[in-house]
Amino acid sequence: MKNIDSRTHTRGESVYLDDVPLIQGTLFGASFGSPIANGHITSLDLSEAEKIPGVVRILTYKDITGQNQIGGIIPDEPLLAEHHVDFCGMPVAFVVAETYEAAHAAVKKIKVEIDPLPIITDPRDAHALGQLIVPPRTHRLGDTEAAWQSCEYIFEGLAETNGQEHLYIETQGAYAIPQENNALKIYSSTQSPRATQAATCKVLGVAMHQVEVDVIRLGGGFGGKEDQANAWAALCALAAHILKKPVKYALDRMEDMAMTGKRHPYSSDFKIGLDKHFKILAYEVQFYQNAGAAADLSPAVLERTLFHCTNTYFIPNVHAVAYSCKTNLPPNTAFRGFGGPQGMFVIEAAIVKAAENLGVDASVIQQINLNKTGDEFPYGQKAVSEAHACWDKAMDRFNIESVIKETHYFNSTNKLYKKGIAMMPICFGISFTNTMMNQGRALVHVYTDGSVSVSTGAVEMGQGVNTKMLQVAAYVFGIDADKVKLQSTSTSRVANTSPSAASATADLNGKAVFMACTEIANRLKQVAADEMHIPIASITLKDNHIHVSDQKHEMTWERLIMSAFFKRVSLSEHAHYATPEIHYDKLKEKGHPFAYHVYGTAITQVTIDCLRGTYQVDAVKVVHDFGVSMNPLIDRGQIEGGIVQGIGWMTLEELIYDKEGKLKSNALSTYKVPDIYSVPKVLEIDFLETTADNLAIFRSKAVGEPPLMYGIGAYFALRNAIKAFNPDAHIPLSAPMTPEKTLMALYSKPLKPDQEKNEETTSSLEVNQR
């Protein structure tokens, strides 16, 4: 089944926040962000701004009717700065005007004086000063100290990954409309209607039943709207609440890039030990997460870094420590993979460092250490592993032995172009790591004409979740897809939603749809059984008809619905699903946090132009564990998008903050994202149908985040191509591998041993500035 939105998307008819028709009298907001990354506000002068024609009101923290607090996990984030600012772009004032232009003109006239304080942008500097968002977290398995004794080879190093701008095509925004009796309706581009509702109510000081958040769809989220949609909704709602007028604010691209948090940059130290057969015996790692100026989702992201710190490898002795470091950058936030990719990059870097020193291909070490069913992750859960199945099928299906030979041959016969390849196996845990969040709900109505309305907690953001929800309902009722309509995601129809995140949305909400529809279907079958005097067990619903003992009966779905209605049988149901079996003890750092894991293996092939440092990704070929895909077209789209987004993070996308904490790469002219020319020339996805029982909806495994991590292969493939040109090249284990860094690396000299430590502790931020 095609994505149900494909027709309106293609015709430009799909409705996003900015397409919601405006009510007469709507006012427009714009926020004034701090120009300084750290300091005390000594004066705020709004007088010039207030004189701009059309300006209605300029709100500051003093106007907040409830609490000035939007922190999700920790209450450490004011909506509007009071006396102190701690990142560039931190909202200080909110202008409300009759036009968009007036609001933006007024923002430019606001004057603020700030007594500056020292600015920290590097997580290691923050750590050294003891500036942590939460106490460090530690995952342990076995005993690394004892294990070093048995290691034949031990390697240490430093690995870094930069942040990533979400670049959802639709920027952040909200539209708040006052209702009678002080209630509010908010259209928001949020992944988390409940969180947006809760944050708004806290700021306004009203009860949650007063505020409805309604989400039609998002033009992309990628994690950027899991927590960071709330501020804009709260600002619009506050203005609407005070002025009794509808207020809209949709950020323009540069505002969005400057003010919102991104994927967390990480700097990490690793130590890896292997026996003489290249079995990894021990792994120690310290992660320094650049959290930015407030907690946001950083503690949860930090946790997922630890959960994925051994990727898909079984390592018997692990000691991993993660620090969430408070800096003066905008608070960093969820981004597809949620800290997992950052953790996985480091173990891959450690393996590559070992491989390069041992003179073997990294794939040899990777393969030997893939986990097997029954192997324990450092957090205590036992693997149900598809790692070998994916790897072996990839070797076979993509003729990897001969690809390796061809690559060597190409490199031995070409001077100025070099090819590189890398294998990238992945393993990603499915469930919110916070067990409590693993719940979903659905509300299903069957109308008297037989048409069906489905509301869930799932937010459609291009990932196709509505199509999957529709498939579930149509399947259970045995009716055509066009009889089912997916409604917007509204807190009035489905309450207390978890964010659409963690790749778990289709599972959590799909199971709830399944439960609600099954309940209604059972009632309908009872109606038919009573009417026909046959046992209910002989009845099924299929092809828009009743089937009796698998024979199509003349009674149609529509007739059955009318019968049920006349018998006063309920045609509506609300269902609640909570993932069974999962649990986690944060004090012991052990448990069974994930419903299941998703596996896969990718091979990435690249070619570098060694004169220019430019490159292309020739191919990414993947064997991916889909379980049993319920929608291969949508799932393939998720894999393709994830790979390209991952490659962007690893190669092109370079966030640069200067020492003042200002974002330099603040527009698409300076922040490069993959385009049609930089996507892999060949993108092949092989569906591995896996049969192990799992908790996925219809055994169709979650597909949102896992494929992003295939992109990590591009970094290491480039590294291998550089080494083919210059075997002694000094290449810091620091992503992204931009063309500039590639060129530098191609002509680099090896470091002298005494340089190594110094050079490697230089952060990529400083490298960028040099």
Catalytic (active-site) positions:
705
For residue 306, which amino acid is it? Answer: L
* 433 interface partner picked from ligand LUZ, ligand MOS, none, CB below 5 to 8 A per type: ligand LUZ
Q: Hey, which residues between 233 and 272 contact ligand LUZ (CB under 6 A)? A: none
Instruction: Quote the least distance from Cβ 370 to ligand LUZ, whole Å.
Output: 23
CA distance 349 to 713: 11
Q: Which of 49, 79, 334, 352 binds ligand MOS (CB under 6 A)?
A: 334
By a kind-dependent CB cut-off of 5 to 8 A, residue 304 interacts, out of ligand LUZ, ligand MOS, none, with ligand LUZ
125: Cβ contacts below 8 Å, ≥ 6 apart: 327
334 lies in the binding site for ligand LUZ (CB under 6 A): yes
CB nearer ligand MOS, residue 157 or residue 193 = 193
Residue 696 interacting with ligand LUZ (CB under 6 A)? no
Residue closer to ligand LUZ (CB basis): 301 or 608: 301
- Binding partner at 595 among ligand LUZ, ligand MOS, none, C-beta below 5 to 8 Å by kind: none
Cβ partners under 8 Å of residue 525, min gap 6: 536, 539, 541
**Is the Cβ of residue 67 or residue 434 nearer to ligand LUZ in the bound state?**
434
SS3 596: strand
Residue 37's φ and ψ, nearest 5 degrees, are -85, -15
CB of 646 to ligand MOS, least distance (A): 13
C-alpha torsion sign, points 533, 534, 540, 543 = negative
235 binds, among ligand MOS, ligand LUZ, none (CB under 5 to 8 A by kind): none
Q: How far apart are CA 293 and CA 310, in angstroms?
A: 28
3-state SS, one letter per residue, for 611-649: CCCCEEEEEEEEEEEEECCCCHHHHHHHHHHHHHHHHHH
Scanning residues 654 to 713, which ones bind ligand MOS (CB under 6 A)?
705
* The only residue of 96, 350, 473, 501 in contact with ligand LUZ, by rule CB under 6 A: 501
Q: Which residue, among 214, 216, 213, 220, has the nearest Cα to 170 in the 3D structure?
A: 220
Q: What torsion do the CA atoms of 604, 610, 613, 617 make, to the nearest 10 degrees?
A: -20
Question: In terms of DSSP H, where are the helices of 414-490?
Answer: 465-477
Return d(Cα 665, Cα 673) in angstroms, integer. 11
The answer to whether 299 touches 333, Cβ cutoff 8 Å, is: no
- Strand (E) positions, 203-356? 211-215, 247-250, 266-274, 280-292, 317-326
Q: What are phi and psi of 347, to 5 degrees?
A: -65, -35
Q: Of 452, 457, 591, 552, which is closest to residue 511 (Cα–Cα)?
A: 457
Q: Which is nearer to ligand MOS, 175 or 338 (CB)?
A: 338
Query: Shortest gap between Cβ of 508 and ligand MOS (angstroms)?
Result: 12
Q: Which is nearer to ligand LUZ, 73 or 555 (CB)?
A: 73
Cα of 250 vs its chain's centroid, Å: 21
By the rule CB under 6 A, 336 interacts with ligand MOS: yes
By CB under 6 A, tell whether 584 contacts ligand LUZ.
Answer: no
**Look-up of token digits 């509300």:** 443
Least distance to ligand LUZ from the beta carbon of 337, Å?
7
Cα 681 to chain centroid, rounded: 25
Q: Quote the least distance from Cβ 113 to ligand LUZ, whole Å.
A: 38
Site map for ligand MOS, 552-571, x if CB under 6 A?
A: --------------------
| 59 near ligand LUZ, rule: CB under 6 A | no
Q: Look at residue 511 and give the partner it binds from ligand MOS, ligand LUZ, none, a contact being a CB closer than 5 to 8 Å depending on partner kind.
A: none
- Look at residue 191 and give the partner it binds from ligand MOS, ligand LUZ, none, a contact being a CB closer than 5 to 8 Å depending on partner kind: ligand MOS
Q: Exposed (0-12), middle (13-18) or buried (19+): which is 488, by Cβ within 10 Å?
A: middle
Give the footprint of ligand MOS on residues 468-507 (CB under 6 A): 501-502
Q: How far is Cα 316 from Cα 280, in angstroms, rounded to an integer?
A: 8
- When the beta carbons of 334 and 512 are compared against ligand MOS, the nearer one is 334
CB of 193 to ligand MOS, least distance (A): 13
Asked whether 184 and 178 are in contact (CB, 8 A), the reply is yes
Stretch of residues binding ligand MOS (CB under 6 A), selected from 135-143, 287-295, 335-343, 661-669 = 335-343
Please give the residue whose beta carbon sits closest to ligand MOS in the complex: 223
The crossing angle, in degrees rounded to 10, of helices 712-725 and 632-647 is 50
Residues whose CB is less than 8 angstroms from the CB of residue 185 and which lie 6 or more positions away in sequence, other chains included: 176, 177, 179, 211, 212, 214
433 belongs to the binding site for ligand LUZ (CB under 6 A): yes
The piece of 58-66, 228-236, 272-280, 431-439 that touches ligand LUZ (CB under 6 A) is 431-439
Q: Which does 335 bind (CB under 5 to 8 A by kind): ligand LUZ, ligand MOS, none?
A: ligand MOS
Under the binding rule (CB under 6 A), the answer on residue 167 touching ligand MOS is no
141 touching ligand LUZ, by CB under 6 A: no
Which tokens in the block code for residue 740?
């500039």
The size of the interface with ligand MOS (CB under 6 A), counted in residues, is: 10
Query: DSSP string of 486-537?
Result: EPPEETTTS-SPPPS-TT-HHHHHHHHHHHHHHHHHHHHHHHHHHHHTS-GG
Interface pick for ligand LUZ out of 300, 325, 347, 733 (rule CB under 6 A): 300
Question: What residue spans of 160-311 are helical by DSSP H?
Answer: 193-204, 230-243, 253-259, 298-307
**Residue of 67, 131, 414, 434 that binds ligand LUZ (CB under 6 A):** 434
Shortest separation between residue 433's beta carbon and ligand LUZ, angstroms = 4
Torsion angles phi and psi, residue 261, rounded to 5: -80, 170
The distance of closest approach from Cβ of residue 302 to ligand LUZ in the complex, given in angstroms and rounded to an integer, is 11
Considering beta carbons, is residue 77 or 296 the nearer one to ligand MOS?
A: 296
Among 87, 338, 626, 710, binds ligand LUZ (CB under 6 A): 338
Q: Which parts of 502-541 interact with ligand LUZ (CB under 6 A)?
A: 502
Instruction: Rule CB under 6 A: say whether 733 interacts with ligand MOS.
Output: no
- Of 329-337, 423-431, 477-485, 590-598, the window that binds ligand MOS (rule: CB under 6 A) is 329-337
Q: Is 90 in the site for ligand MOS (CB under 6 A)?
A: no
Q: Where do contacts with ligand MOS occur on this chain (CB under 6 A)?
A: 191, 223, 226, 334-336, 338, 501-502, 705
Q: Where do contacts with ligand LUZ occur on this chain (CB under 6 A)?
A: 223, 226, 297, 300, 304, 334, 338, 432-434, 501-502
